[in-house]
Structures are given as C-alpha cells and as structure tokens.
Structure 1
Amino acid sequence: MAATLQFDLVSPERRLASVQATEVQIPGAAGDMTAMQGHAPTITTLRPGILRAVSAEGTKAYVVTGGFAEISATGVSVLAERAVPLDEMDAKLMDQLVADASAASSVGVDKDTAEKAMSDLQAMKAAAGF
C-alpha cells in the first residue's frame, strides 16, 4: 500500500475534501507541484488551475481560482479563494469565474499581473474542457 498524507481543501463556502491521499497535484503560482508523504515543508500561493488528489477512492479534481497551500511531510492543507469539484463545474459557472476574475483584475492591479491571471484562467478553462 502506498504511503498517504492527510489532504484538506476548504473554501469560504465549504469544506470540499478531507481524505488520506497518496499524492496531491497543486497549481502553484511558481509552477505545478506534486506533494506526497515526506514532502519538505512548503507554503505556496495558488494560481487558477486544476488541483487533483489521488486516494484509494480514485482521483478527484477541483477547479481553484487562487489561495494558499501548506505542505508538510504528513499533510496538505489548501485554503482556496474559490473551489468547485470539477464534476460539478459547468460552462456557465466557468464563465462566471472568468468574469469575476476579469472584474477583480481591473481594479488596482498592474497590467502584467492582470494578464497573467487571465492567461491562467483561460488555461484552466481549457484544461477543464470548457
């Protein structure tokens, strides 16, 4: 049996996951990373993307729009700005996430940061199949 770590995913709306996972694939702001048991302690910000947790029940994917991940040797805790299970996502909700991010990025954010955020959202939309 593969070694596991505790994975918790929460957003302001609800707790989305609390499972023993063999790996968690995280869309970090500095690049994608995979956390497994024994990982070095790390804190990273999230970029918009697809977060995946692999457990005994299979792989569960979540759309996240940003937030933070705290990784330790025994667990991963993700505090997401917005998170939705990929299997609950539809085109209307995806378009709303993009519109919300577009509106937020036009207020007090430099042009490069806003363009990067929109690029990440478009890549997330494509990865999710929308």
Structure 2
Amino acid sequence: MADATTSNDVLTFELVSPERKLMSGTAYRVTIPGVEGDFGVLAGHASVLSTVRMGVVEILESASAAPVRIFITGGFADVTPVNCTLLAEEAVNVNDLDAAKLEQDIRNLSDDLSVAKDAFEKSKLQRRLDVTRAKLKAVAA
C-alpha cells in the first residue's frame, strides 16, 4: 500500500538537549517514555506537558518509515495538536552506542562503586551505572 502521509498527518518535532538540537523537522508519529508509561503522539494530539523518564524515543518520519531511536536520560515533552518538543537532559542516537564499550563501562563503574566510600560519590557512580545499563538495554532491544 502506498504511503498516504499528507501534511495534515504530520507534526513538527524537535528534540533538544543542553548540548545541541538533535532533530528538527516533521514526524508522522513519536513514541515517548513518559513517567506514567510510554505514549504515542500523532498530529491532532491533545495538548499535554509531561515529564519524561529515561528510555528510548522512537520517531517515525512517515507511516512506512523505519523508526529513528534516540536514547534519553529524562526531560520534558511539550505536545500540541501540531507540535511535539522534547527537552532531554541527555540524548544520543541508539545507532551511535557501542555495546562492547558500554559493557566495559559497566564493569569499570561497578568496580569504582565497590570501592567508593563517600555517599555522594556512590550516588553519582550509581546514577552513571544506571544510565549505562539503560543504554546497553536500548542497544540490545
């Protein structure tokens, strides 16, 4: 079946992190890891402002396109019937992640955590370990 996407079927999508704007353009559908569960956004979606948890955002540029998968560590989503803006704490394309490097990082962080004595240091290392594990899970999915 031919792709029936028209200008009425798409919304403007932007994904921004503190470092840079990762994406800006149109999207047919965006799936976002909200704190209360994943939610999909299509053109005409009700307006909503949501906190976003760590996970993978999937962007379909057309109804028949393969999804672009972006790992984020959290942030906020601002959705209107014609726009979806995602402000992410940290964001990286899943295709840019290296499973072998992430596995090594997990081993190193686990070792560092096992010898850390200060509670603040332990907390920082645990957060980095959690993010790295989530990135590895995103690559494996």
Q: Same fold (TM over 0.5)?
A: yes
Q: Distance in 1 between matches of 2:73 and 2:11?
A: 23
State whether residues 95 and 139 of structure 2, in contact with CA within 8 Å, keep that contact through their aligned partners in structure 1: no
* 1:61 matched residue in structure 2: 69
The answer on 1:106 being equivalent to 2:109 is no
| Cα distance change of structure 1 residues 80 and 105 upon mapping to structure 2, 3 Å threshold | farther
Which protein has the larger Cα radius of gyration, Structure 1 or Structure 2? 2
Q: Distance in 2 between matches of 1:50 and 1:86?
A: 8
Identify the match of residue 32 of structure 1 among 35, 38, 43. Answer: 38
Provide the aligned length of Structure 1 versus Structure 2.
118
| Cα distance change of structure 1 residues 121 and 30 upon mapping to structure 2, 3 Å threshold | farther
The answer on 1:126 being equivalent to 2:137 is yes
* 1:21 matched residue in structure 2: 27
Q: Distance in 2 between matches of 1:24 and 1:62?
A: 11
Identify the match of residue 82 of structure 2 among 46, 49, 74. Answer: 74
Q: Which amino acid aligns with 1:84?
A: V
1:128 Cα offset (Å): 2.3
1:129 Cα offset (Å): 1.1
Identify the match of residue 48 of structure 1 among 25, 49, 54. Answer: 54
Segments of structure 1 that go 5 or more residues without pairing to the other structure are: 108-113
Q: Distance in 2 between matches of 1:124 and 1:88?
A: 11
| Cα distance change of structure 1 residues 4 and 104 upon mapping to structure 2, 3 Å threshold | farther
Give the TM-score normalised by structure 2: 0.70
1:18-75 CA-to-partner distances (Å, cap 9, x unmatched) read 1210000000111000000000001111111000110046421100000000011001
Identity of aligned residues (%): 35
Segments of structure 2 that go 5 or more residues without pairing to the other structure are: 114-119
* 1:111 matched residue in structure 2: none
State whether residues 49 and 121 of structure 1, in contact with CA within 8 Å, keep that contact through their aligned partners in structure 2: no
The Cα RMSD (Å) is: 3.0
Give the TM-score normalised by structure 1: 0.75
Q: In proportion to residue count, which structure has more helix?
A: 2
Q: In proportion to residue count, which structure has more strand?
A: 1
